[in-house]
Structure 1
Amino acid sequence: MSGGMRRNGLLRAQDDREVKRRNEELQRGALQKYTSDDVMLHGNYRYDDRAEHVRREREARQRAQEEQKLDQLYTAHKQREYGQQQAQEDAKIASHLERTRKESERQQRVVQRIRNESEELRALSEKLRAAEMNLERTNQLKERKMLQSREKEYNASYDNLMENERLKKVAAEEAKQVQRRQDQIGARLVQEEQVAEKKEMQRAAMKEFERERAAVDEIVGRIQEEDTAEMKRKAAKQEETKRWVEKFLVEREVERNDARRKEQEEEARIKAYGNEVERRRMDAAAKAKSKADDQARVLDKLTRTKEEEMRKAEEMEDLINRLHYEEQEQKFRAQERAKVDKQQKSRLEMMQANDYQKQLKAQRRQKEAEEEEEYRRRMMEKYSEDERIDQENKMRRESNMRDFKKEVEHLAEHKQGLFEAQQRQEIAEQLHRDEEDQQRSDIIEQERKRMLAEHAAKLIDYLPKGVLQKPEDLEMLIEMLSKKMEA
């Protein structure tokens, strides 16, 4: 409808343009004629005026030719556009008709398939054929009543045979109907069983969901218990570490006291040794060779003893003491060689060595105090770091627990969503099946009414049992008979 109106509008526009073009040509013709007449009237006056008129006439003709060409080009362009639009509209109309034809053919194929697959329509068709056979048999009986009497016996036997066949077909049809009803009842029972099974699956899914939730709660509780036990274990470990540190500090203090005591003893031995050296040096002149050897042996023995004792102390003190005794030994041997002139120098060096040893001991005590303070500071930092790490671990566990709970809740929501989506899909599929069944029933009902309308009126006296299934069928048949009688 819209395509036809569009074509009519285009035709009217084309006609209007054509009328306008003709009016413009008439106006140009009148103008040319007026120009020509004017040239003829003024041709005798001035040559310049005549030349101007000729020029104007030539320009007018050129303009008219250009306008005519433009009109021709415009007309051809519009005709091409109109042809393209017409072709597009024709193609759309053809495509729409083709889709309509295909849809109609598809619908016809669906209806034909349902007709072919419908047991009810096949049964009705067989009943109508049986009715036609009954009608044909009645007609044959009427015709054969006019035959000879010898044919009556044959006709009677033939009638009996046909009646038996009819009864057999009627019985077979009734058996098919019974079987079909049983099949429908069985299908309904199967559907009910499927619905019950789906409900049971839903209940089982809900139980499974509750069981999983309980398992998750149990896991969460166990994790919380483990975290509590871990915190207790950490606290116990920290307490044990504190006790160990306190014990270590006490033992360290005892060891330091022992070290101080040993240092005092060592100082006493060194002092005694110095006195012994001084005494030996006093009578060195008398016991030069013998005393020198004895002193060397004693010095070696004392050196070995000192090295054995100093080896148990700290490495720095051991090195210092060893150097000190070596220096003392060298000085002693030099003093033996230098005799009396070196004694004063040796005593001075001994005093310097003692002062140096005291300085080293003071430095060592200060260093030990600094180390102890550094150790305490590190232990406090370690306690703080352990406390921070424990706090971070606790926060991380709590965060992981929250994430775990969120993941569990998300999983539960996802499973619930899947379950609901499955239910919606099953409901949609059931509605679609119901719609297809209703459509199939409507097509079967329409085809049954059509077959009854075509055959039932002329076979009214020969219709088998079960052909007229509804009161509407009887009403339709009565109406058709009334119309037939009125006609």
Structure 2
Amino acid sequence: MEYARRQQQKETNQKAMNKEREAAKEKLHKLLSEKIDKERQQREDMERVREELYLEEQQEANRQREILEMEKKIRQRLMMQQTCQQQMAFKEVQRQAEREEEEAFRKIMLVKFAEDDRIEQMNAQKRRMKQLEHKREVEKLIEERRRQHEADKEFVAKEQALEEEREALRMKIIEEERQKLLKRHAKQLLGYLPKGLLRVDDLAHLDEDFRKNFQTRDADIFSEDDWEDYN
């Protein structure tokens, strides 16, 4: 009987110990699970914060680009207006010079015709008729000069337009080749690109890795005009 009682007590104690161990293991497992969940949640929170910061930075960069583009367009518009005003002023000066030149030509030709026809020796009636004839001839000459002048200007304008088209095509080809080279080699040459090769607006056409790796130290590779616009 005593042996049976001790065995029973032993089994009871063993069960209690097993139960305590299981409870301890379960508690430890729960603590580890909670710790893992907490760390995972922290990582997810940090990743979300980083993503939000990155998105905010991208949005701010986009806003800054839009502002810079707007400012650039305004400056260009003002420069165009100023250039237009200067051109108008120049054209007015040019027209005035042409009028003065025509008037001088008119006087010279009238004097020449008068001398050639010796109108001072004619009577008043013939002299008036001859003077009118001279004026008509001079006006014809002036009109012919105007037509020739306009034809010359039109020819020069056409030649200039053709030259501008050729230059625009040449610059387009150069720009396309530059973009191809940048897309192909910019990442490998990050930090070694020569100044003026990379422009601020090029960043939008390059891949995400390049923009992420682009550091402030590389700002001096922009051309001076682009860097002024960027600032």
TM bracket (short chain): 0.3 to 0.5
Instruction: Provide the TM-score with structure 2 as the length reference.
Output: 0.42
TM-score between the two structures when normalised by the length of structure 1: 0.22
Higher relative contact order (CA 8 A, sep 6+): 1
User: Higher helix proportion, which one?
Assistant: 1
